Amino acid sequence: MAKLTIDIPDELISEFADFMAETHNYQEQVQDPNSPDKIPNPETKVQFAKRMLRNNLRQNFMRWRRDKFYKENIAQFDADITVS
Torsion 18-61-6-30 (CA) sign: positive
For residue 39, report the phi and psi dihedrals to the nearest 5 degrees.
-130, 160
pTM metric for this prediction:
0.77
- C-beta separation of 49 from 17 below 8 A: yes
For the chain, 84 residues long, give each residue's pLDDT as a single digit of tens. Answer: 898 899 999 999 999 999 999 999 999 999 999 999 999 999 999 999 999 999 999 999 999 999 999 888 887 777 677 787
Report the pLDDT value the prediction gives residue 74, as an integer from 0 to 100: 81
